Chain A
Amino acid sequence: MSGDTRLAIEVTGLHKRYGDVEAVAGVDLSVAIGEVVAFLGSNGAGKTTTVEILEGLRTRTSGDVQVLGVDPAEATADWRERIGVVLQGAKHEGDFTAAEIVTMWSAYYRSPRPTAEVLELVGLADAAGTRTRRLSGGQQQRLAVALSLVGDPELVFLDEPTTGFDPAARREAWQTIDGLRSLGVTVLLTTHYMDEADHLADRIVVISRGRIVADGSADELAEQVAMPSQISWDAAELSPGALGDRLRDLLRSEDESVPVRAAAGTAPAEQQTERHGARLALATRDVGEVVRELLAAANAAGVRLDSLAVQPPTLEDTYLALTGDALSGDES
């Protein structure tokens, strides 16, 4: 397999089977040099298995894999010089300081970056002399990123870099990962947060049950599933009786109380309505037209309809629709 030289990662038909379980069921993936790609999926979707195969830490059942032009199953020390790996939930030896750990790891590489420079890169210069057991979760994660950068890699893998973090630690980690972009490093990161994928990556690849189900920017993914927006208003302000025929028809379905989210996964009705306490809501992709009709009805009834709210589909809605998790419930 010759491979495309502009690709850092090239995967076709990747399978990984554990007994009867097919953890990865035919993944195709390509990452261009210099690209930052998020591998998005829920727990158990096959993210970590796939990434660890690419890192050369796991064997595969079948498929073709080229990472920096090399099959990771035949990883050599030379190849490992060129990649950086941050494992999920990375921990450090607590009795060493951050600087000591970086120095220790720099001995593993042929031409390592100086320790001070690496700590600076991830914003840990001030914590250089701190024992790692005293570092916060965010700092520990940044130290893990620091270790992946010691060898000046071309490609870095980050497996769930912010899972379990509080918002502040998450933002710290994001800053560090954003910093990788300026180094010109190719990045493949896994996450189960759509907002994280949207914030960090040029491109999002969605995996569900071991298969790739979508690939594109956050906007493209949202377009792909064409989730409806939600339009809602106060029922006291404008009752169903005051609506025109078409809108009233829409509201007729309110008693069926169809969950809005399910609409994307099933063959969706054009518009659906739902009652939230004292508010009336309907879901539509035809936002402009529906709002015009609502305002006309409000005018006719002599109310201002100040309670009107239009909510576009959220990233989470898109994600859930893509992975189909809203329909199937929790995945094991």
Chain B
Amino acid sequence: MTRLGQLRSETRFNLLGFRRSPAATFFTVVLPIIFLVIFTSIFGNEIISSTGARVATVYVPGILALALVSANFMNAAIVTVIRRESGVLKAMRATPLPPWVYVGGQVAASLVLTVFMTALVIGIGWLGYSVEVQPGAVPSLLITLGVGAAAFSALGLAITCVCPSEQAAPAITNMCVLPLYFVSDVFIPSDGAPRWMTLIGDVFPIKHLAVALGRTFDPFSEGVPMPAWHWLVLGVWGVFGVLVTVRFFRWTPRN
């Protein structure tokens, strides 16, 4: 089969596996929607006096960031560790499939999930909460999604290097992202937070993703939003993920 055909086949089976895994579907598709509904219900969808925008304009991009991290980082890492520990990756290494096609298939599947979740979250935000993507911000949205998906896919592969077993993978990946969500404008705006919390948020990539996405939904932004600084930080984290993966990734089980 051609390389393109192999990529398509790998992507298709990754998505099929995703659909059949209740845990993966719940955490990546259902949970972000539940959060979106809960947060906008608790805080109401009022106009925030300081910005003049509705509450949901904060939550839609936040939840979109959550879904992107879940699809590209959490899901990819957990699936990879399961395959590694069950020997599937090792067996795959004994076939002619080039490793980059395997990785490419997984990244492509995550990207498809990202596009799906973006449409879903934006659709719900638009229909339910009157939140709109500013037409001029669409290119910025696409770039942010692309850079974010690439960076978190790379970090998802990198984190498998410190997951000793398939039981450890969900715990370790959650430990990485859950605390960060609270300081990264995902669950709550970090405006009034103590300085050390905003600093942590600034260092790690999730806040940069959420803020860059937020610019896309800001009804008062002037001209075309170009959150170049946030893209750069995401890019640096992505490069870090690639370097760790290239150096430490293993195809054989640890146990």
Residues on A facing B (Cβ under 8 Å): 55-57, 77-78, 80-81, 83, 85, 87, 89-93, 95-96, 100, 104-105, 107-110, 112, 144, 147, 151
Contacts and interface: CB of A to CB of B under 8 A. Distances in A.
Contacts of A83: 94
A108 B96 CA distance: 6
The winner among B9, B87, B90, B96 for most chain A CB atoms within 10 A is B96
Contacts of B232: none
Contacts of A108: 1, 6, 92, 95-97
B117 to A, nearest CB: 21
B16 A107 contact: no
Contacts of A93: 17, 82-83, 86, 88
A109 B98 CA distance: 11
Given A93-B17, A96-B13, A96-B16, A107 B96 contact: no
Contact of B87 (A80, A90, A95, A110): A90
B223 interface: no
Contact of A91 (B20, B21, B87, B92): B87
A91 B94 contact: no
Contacts of A96: 13, 16-17, 20
Most buried by B among A78, A87, A96, A100: A87
A57 B86 CA distance: 16
Contact of B1 (A77, A91, A92, A110): A110
Contacts of B95: 80, 85, 105, 108-109, 151
B91 interface: yes
A107 B5 contact: yes
A104 B13 contact: yes
A107 B83 contact: no
Contacts of B17: 93, 95-96
B56 to A, nearest CB: 35
20 contacts: A56-B94, A77-B98, A85-B95, A87-B91, A90-B91, A91-B87, A91-B88, A92-B88, A93-B17, A93-B86, A95-B20, A95-B21, A96-B20, A104-B9, A105-B95, A107-B9, A108-B1, A109-B1, A147-B91, A151-B95
A95 B22 CA distance: 10
Interface string B82-109: 1100111011111111100000000000
Given A107-B6, A108-B6, A57 B88 contact: no
A184 to B, nearest CB: 21
A91 B82 CA distance: 11
A112 B20 CA distance: 26
A77 B96 contact: yes
A202 B132 CA distance: 73
Interface string B122-149: 0000000000000000000000000000
Nearest to B1: A107
Contact of A80 (B88, B90, B94, B252): B94
B185 interface: no
A227 B96 CA distance: 46
Contact of B10 (A56, A107, A110): A107
Contacts of B10: 104, 107
B16 to A, nearest CB: 7
A83 B91 CA distance: 12
A80 B94 CA distance: 7
A55 B17 CA distance: 28
Nearest to B14: A104
Nearest to A89: B87
Contacts of B98: 77
B186 to A, nearest CB: 29
Contacts of B92: 108
A144 B5 CA distance: 23
A193 to B, nearest CB: 22
A215 B174 CA distance: 54
A89 B21 CA distance: 23
A87 B13 contact: no
Contacts of B90: 57, 87
A206 B203 CA distance: 58
A160 B192 CA distance: 62
Contacts of A105: 95
B91 A109 contact: no
Interface in B129-187: none
Given A57-B93, A85-B91, A96-B16, 19 more contacts: A55-B94, A57-B252, A77-B96, A77-B98, A80-B94, A92-B88, A93-B82, A95-B17, A95-B20, A104-B13, A107-B10, A108-B6, A108-B95, A108-B96, A108-B97, A110-B1, A110-B96, A144-B91, A151-B95
